[in-house]
């Protein structure tokens, strides 16, 4: 059968195949199911954000977190990225027969702790059990509701020539840590960056609402996929300064050994933002006050043309960074 | 290992084991994750309903529907049961590698059709892909937001002695139809009752807001499980008149052949309500005007004691109907 007649792992990559699947299957039916993570809904006189994510990470426990904390952080961050204050989460579990109850208890406790720290309440839930071999220990869906303050409107279409690109900390930790844990790669010092970003994003928007064009967390598909999306939506080009992109030495070394490009690896506690150039330095300094954003850095700029994503290498060269295709890392989130 | 050290299929039954799991694992961590299906949240001056459900039905296509239409109806109905007008749904897919894209397209089309008919919008989504053998074709989570009109407060605690119990149509169709399709039982004339109930519930509450104490859709665990929950919450007893409970002849015959009790089988397009006795006849007539509720009937009454659920048999006897234990029918929804 042809590549697009059956579902392949790469349909879940967050790259080109995912985009094609969403366009062909879901957009054809639900005109509003967005490529964006959160829907922004108008509700009475408020703007509500509404977002859903299913988590199928393997393994369910990894350095720096587990599927439960990840499921809370992921959805909280999707709300934070549209400028929303997260209010409520639902939590739905698909359990595989044979899962250890102790593992489920640890996961639930992590969710509760993560929710408390983020200041969000888990208010409804669901539990299904599937027979052995029809799941993989536990899958969790979290869906979140948040409230968007008046006047906040973040959109990649607002991106202008000359704008700067900032990332809130080192990239690719989560993706590599999960991969290393799954494959028992024996790489040292890796740890997921999974954390909630809503407090720092709220503070940022309070100070710099008019300077920030758009924010996004580079999860599946990594930094490169987010910036491709920004480039497409704004019809602009994005130039990254290779030497300025923060990557931990362990992550860089691990990627070199494995032949992976960190630009495509997931973070789960970082965000990238585009802002008006004149505020860039101030925003970086502001972010670095927060524990969540110690490694914030300006990493690139927006140009009128050529469109697409380019890397200005340390040696002065310039190479295009293509959109993700294929599935380098399944089940990272 | 002990029965409660690993997850068993019966933890997903909707019966005693599910209740125990929720209490021990989830309530211990999330004080608000309810035994109720929908959370009722106060939001500015509004009451919002928020509910989540994952659907893992097997087979994914069955007489009368598929996992897509079911996922929309199920969540719409959970909102309708707390008196909410459903507004928005999210839809999150866990796809197994190898799923036929054509099947996914059919499912998505059914979801869109069901949503349109129910007057609800699917506004955000997510897609994950898991390797072969780590899922079963497709699992769908839908999470819904609805608005509860001022003055509506449905709660099994409002149930009073003398109140009547009404069911909106024949029970157990969905559960038996799915089971028969899965096991190729060759039973004729079975069809799921899966349908959205929000329009009829809205009309009902508009007319009879003060007479209706509580409504609930008897899905997993069936009519018996819902009425047990009502009995426990209200500290009252419920007597059912066996001969008045509407059950289609094909369903009755199928249950007899298989040794199943229809009182425990799921419906996905019916609801049971408790109301003030003097309005019972009027409510039954009102419901019967709607296509969704042709078979509405008064089927029982509330007594002060004994607590629990009892069946007044056709021959004048009275037998207790115990709470569901074990897992008679996995993966019905």
**How is residue A242 written in tokens?**
């290779």
Chain B residues with CB-CB distance to A125 below 8 A: 22, 26, 30, 33-34, 52
Single residue among B121, B148, B175 that ends a domain in this structure: B148
Q: Which residue of A has its CA nearest to B141?
A: A141
Rounded to a whole number of angstroms, the CA Rg of chain B reads 19
Angle, vertex CA A308, rays to CA A306 and CA A314, nearest 5: 85
Residues A225 and A136 in one domain: no
**How is residue A95 written in tokens?**
């359990």
Confirm whether A17 is domain-assigned: no
CA distance B48 to chain A (A): 11
- The per-residue pLDDT for A327 is 63
Whether residue A35 is predicted with pLDDT greater than 60 in this model: the reply is no
Whether residue A31 is predicted with pLDDT greater than 70 in this model: the reply is no
A84 touches chain B (CB under 8 A): no
Residues of chain A above pLDDT 90, percent: 78
Confirm whether A295 is domain-assigned: yes
Confirm whether A19 is domain-assigned: no
Contact by Cβ (8 Å): B250, B190: yes
Distance, CA of B50 to CA of A126 (rounded, Å): 12
Q: Which helix (H) or strand (E) holds A91?
A: strand A85-96
B35 touches chain A (CB under 8 A): no
Residues B202 and B163 in one domain: yes
Q: Is B295 left (phi over 0), alpha (psi -120 to 50) or beta?
A: alpha
Contact by Cβ (8 Å): A248, A256: no
Residue range B163-172, pLDDT digits in tens: 999 999 999 9
Q: What's the distance, Cα to Cα, between the start and end of chain A in Å? A: 28
- The per-residue pLDDT for A278 is 98
- The per-residue pLDDT for B47 is 87
Residues A165 and A244 in one domain: yes
Single residue among A148, A181, A196 that ends a domain in this structure: A148
Confirm whether A138 is domain-assigned: yes
Whether residue B37 is predicted with pLDDT greater than 70 in this model: the reply is no
Angle, vertex CA A205, rays to CA A202 and CA A209, nearest 5: 160
CATH number at residue A173: 3.90.650.10
pLDDT, averaged across chain A: 92
Cα B62 to chain centroid, rounded? 17
Residue range B192-205, pLDDT digits in tens: 999 999 999 999 99
Contact A112 B30 (CB under 8 A): yes
Q: Collapse the DSSP code of A259 into the 3-class scheme (helix H, G, I; strand E, B; otherwise coil) and give the result.
A: coil
Q: At which residue do the structure tokens 């096991």 appear?
A: B183
Candidate from A23-37, A287-301, B218-232 with smallest mean pLDDT: A23-37
**How is residue A34 written in tokens?**
């967005």
Residues A131 and A266 in one domain: no
Distance, CA of B89 to CA of B140 (rounded, Å): 12
DSSP B6: B
Contact by Cβ (8 Å): A146, A48: yes
Residues A96 and A234 in one domain: no
Q: Which helix (H) or strand (E) holds B285?
A: helix B280-288
Q: Collapse the DSSP code of B240 into the 3-class scheme (helix H, G, I; strand E, B; otherwise coil) and give the result.
A: strand
CATH number at residue A86: 3.30.1330.10
Residues B115 and B208 in one domain: no
Distance, CA of B256 to CA of B273 (rounded, Å): 27
Confirm whether A26 is domain-assigned: no
Confirm whether B51 is domain-assigned: yes
Average pLDDT over residues A78-85: 96
* Residue A197's pLDDT band (cuts 50, 70, 90): very high
What pairing do the DSSP bridges indicate for beta strands B237-241 and B308-312?
parallel
Q: Which residue of B has its CA nearest to A141?
A: B141
Contact by Cβ (8 Å): B207, B286: yes
Model confidence, pTM: 0.94
Residue range B245-276, pLDDT digits in tens: 999 999 999 999 999 999 999 999 999 999 99
Confirm whether B198 is domain-assigned: yes
- The per-residue pLDDT for A12 is 80
B122 touches chain A (CB under 8 A): yes
* Residue B36's pLDDT band (cuts 50, 70, 90): low
Residue from B155, B149, B156, B268 nearest B205 by CA: B149
Number of structural domains in chain A: 2
Residue B217, number of CB atoms within 10 A of its CB: 23
Distance, CA of A219 to CA of A266 (rounded, Å): 4
Residues B233 and B279 in one domain: yes
Contact A51 B122 (CB under 8 A): no
Residues A163 and A45 in one domain: no
Distance, CA of B119 to CA of A152 (rounded, Å): 29
Residues B95 and B170 in one domain: no
Residue range A218-274, pLDDT digits in tens: 999 999 999 999 999 999 999 999 999 999 999 999 999 999 999 999 999 999 999
Q: At which residue do the structure tokens 């109930």 appear?
A: B197
Chain B residues with CB-CB distance to A135 below 8 A: 134-136
Confirm whether A1 is domain-assigned: no
- The per-residue pLDDT for B24 is 83
Domain of residue A313: give its range: 156-320
A5 touches chain B (CB under 8 A): yes
Selected residue of B23, B33, B105 to mutate for chain A interface (largest A Cβ count, 10 A): B33
* Residue A1's pLDDT band (cuts 50, 70, 90): very low
Residues B273 and B187 in one domain: yes
Chain B residues with CB-CB distance to A91 below 8 A: 26, 30, 33, 52
Cα B184 to chain centroid, rounded? 24
Distance, CA of A153 to CA of A199 (rounded, Å): 18
Q: Which residue of B has its CA nearest to A27?
A: B108
**How is residue A141 written in tokens?**
């869906």
**Prediction ipTM score:** 0.93
* Residue A293's pLDDT band (cuts 50, 70, 90): very high
Residue B100, number of CB atoms within 10 A of its CB: 13
Residues B172 and B116 in one domain: no
Single residue among A111, A131, A148 that ends a domain in this structure: A148
pLDDT, averaged across chain B: 92
Distance, CA of A89 to CA of A75 (rounded, Å): 8
Contact B11 A129 (CB under 8 A): yes
Where do the DSSP E strands lie in B30-137? 38-43, 46-55, 61-62, 65-66, 85-96, 121-130
Distance, CA of A79 to CA of A166 (rounded, Å): 19
Residue from B142, B269, B302 nearest B193 by CA: B269
Could you say which of B30, B115, B126 has the minimum Cβ distance to residue A52? Answer: B126
Residues A164 and A190 in one domain: yes
Candidate from A293-302, B18-27, B49-58, B128-137 with smallest mean pLDDT: B18-27
């Amino acid at each position: 059968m042809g590549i697009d007649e059956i579902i392949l792992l790469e349909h879940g990559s967050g790259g080109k195949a995912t985009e094609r699947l969403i366009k062909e299957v879901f957009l054809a039916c639900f005109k509003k199911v967005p490529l964006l993570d959160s829907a922004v809904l108008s509700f009475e006189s408020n703007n509500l954000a509404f977002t859903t994510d299913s988590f199928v990470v393997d393994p369910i426990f990894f350095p720096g977190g587990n599927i439960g904390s990840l499921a809370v952080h992921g959805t909280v961050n999707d709300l934070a990225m549209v400028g929303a204050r997260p209010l409520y989460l639902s939590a739905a579990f698909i359990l595989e027969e044979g899962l250890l109850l102790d593992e489920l208890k640890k996961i639930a406790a992590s969710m509760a702790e993560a929710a408390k720290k983020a200041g969000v309440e888990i208010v409804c839930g669901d539990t299904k059990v599937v027979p052995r071999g029809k799941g993989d220990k536990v899958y969790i869906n979290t869906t979140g509701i948040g409230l968007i303050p008046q006047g906040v409107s973040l959109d990649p279409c607002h991106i202008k020539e000359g704008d700067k690109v900032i990332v809130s900390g080192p990239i690719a930790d989560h993706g590599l840590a999960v991969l290393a844990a799954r494959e028992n790669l024996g790489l040292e010092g890796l740890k997921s960056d999974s954390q909630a970003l809503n407090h720092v994003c709220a503070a940022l928007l309070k100070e710099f609402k008019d300077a920030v064009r758009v924010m996004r967390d580079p999860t599946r598909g990594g930094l490169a996929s987010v910036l491709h999306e920004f480039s497409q939506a704004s019809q602009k080009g994005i130039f990254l300064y290779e030497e300025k992109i923060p990557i931990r030495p362990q992550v860089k070394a691990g990627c070199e050994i494995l032949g992976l490009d960190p630009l495509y690896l997931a973070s789960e506690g970082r965000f990238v933002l585009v802002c008006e150039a004149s505020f860039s330095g101030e925003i970086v300094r502001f972010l670095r006050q927060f524990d969540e954003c110690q490694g914030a850095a300006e990493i690139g700029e927006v140009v009128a043309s050529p469109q697409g994503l380019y890397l200005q290498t340390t040696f002065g060269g310039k190479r295009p960074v293509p959109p993700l295709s294929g599935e380098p890392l399944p089940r990272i989130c």
